[in-house]
Amino acid sequence: MTDSTNPTKVAVIGSGNIGTDLMIKVMRLTDILEMGALVGIDPDSDGLSRAARMGIPTTADGVEGLIAMPNFAEIGVIFDATSAKAHVANAKALAPFGKQLVDLTPAAIGPYVVPAVNLDVHLDALNVNMVTCGGQATIPIVAAVSRVCSVMYAEIVASIASKSAGPGTRANIDEFTETTSSAIMQVGGAARGKAIIVLNPAEPPLIMRDTVYCLIGEANHDLIRESIHQMVADVADYVPGYRLKQEVQFTPVDQGDPVHTLLARGSDRSEVRAKVSVFLEVEGAAHYLPAYAGNLDIMTAAALRVGEQLAIRQSQSPAEVGS
């Protein structure tokens, strides 16, 4: 079993804000993982400078530099915190080596993983996708509703501080909406999903706020409320700043309301009975990023949880896996 005496070495590709925050989380929060390398393309980046000062192997030659590093064979898990386009190239370069990749970009080459919802299903995948920050924050809520009743439509709105949206986030806006919408259905269990991201320019910057709307049929509202509260607690176990902003709301849907435009083709509009509204906020842990950057913190915290479980799975014998 992987433990503090024999941790799994990991590499982080991307020496920007997300990669550096993830590096610090690995160093501070887990005994299961150990930093084996920080990889970037800018030799003057703050992330690479910090890593070098802390004695972590670094390279500014990208994924090719990682592959050429003397300790590359010891790396068990590789996190990619670059961009969707870069991850496609990185995954292709790393494919011959059989390393497990945790993709923090919206590239979505591998299956979507949201730790509180479906992590156990994909522990043997060579490439797992962390969806998006909005997805990590909101898909657990959709899943919490869908495990009680059918969700005919789910819509999420993720509002993040503009200052927390770096060039990678801004370049991936289209991928964000497409990937999150897809994962709302595939992981959250909604029949149809929609995602919206808002870059809030307010000063001082506001922490991440997320709104989740679900259209449902006849269902026990108390059971839905209980399921949502349990899911919030499950996510907060690895993202301490994750919380409900106010109590779950249920709004009746009248038969005259034009919700048919939101439903999947073939759905019976007459079955829609209520709208569930859930309001969340995510405060960052401020390991490297400011506390208002909860959108980035939830990605690195979720990725850390996934990396730990992948490492544990790698250390298990076939008999342990089968049990």
Q: Locate all alpha helices (DSSP H) within the chain, ordered by sequence.
A: 17-29, 46-53, 62-68, 84-94, 115-118, 133-146, 167-171, 173-186, 221-236, 294-315, 318-322
Q: Which domains does the chain have, with CATH numbers?
A: 8-130+299-322 (3.40.50.720), 133-291 (3.30.360.10)
Residue 119 in tokens = 């992590």
How high is the pLDDT of residue 168?
76
Determine whether 214 is an active site residue.
Answer: no
How high is the pLDDT of residue 256?
87
Report the first-to-last Cα separation within the chain, whole angstroms: 15
How high is the pLDDT of residue 215?
98
User: DSSP assignment of 262-285, as one string?
Assistant: TSPTT--GGG--EEEEEEEEE---
CB 166 within 8 A of CB 17: yes
Among 8, 24, 102, smallest CA distance to 56 is for 24
Q: Give the type of residue at 30.
A: T
Among 197, 213, 96, 97, smallest CA distance to 154 is for 213
User: DSSP assignment of 216-232, as one string?
Assistant: E-S--HHHHHHHHHHHH
How high is the pLDDT of residue 317?
65
Q: Which residues pair with 210 in a beta bridge?
A: 158, 280
Please tell me the pTM assigned to this model: 0.94
Give the active site residue among 11, 23, 104, 133: 133
Which pairing describes strands 242-244 and 274-282: parallel, antiparallel, or unpaired?
antiparallel
How high is the pLDDT of residue 1?
43
pLDDT in tens, the chain (323 residues): 455 579 999 999 999 999 999 999 999 999 999 999 999 999 999 999 999 999 999 999 999 999 999 999 999 999 999 999 999 999 999 999 999 999 999 999 999 999 999 999 999 999 999 999 999 999 999 999 999 999 999 999 999 999 998 887 888 889 899 999 999 999 999 999 999 999 999 999 999 999 999 999 999 999 999 999 999 999 999 999 999 999 999 999 998 899 999 999 999 999 999 999 999 999 999 999 999 999 999 999 999 999 999 999 999 866 566 55
Q: Give the type of residue at 117.
A: V
How high is the pLDDT of residue 318?
67
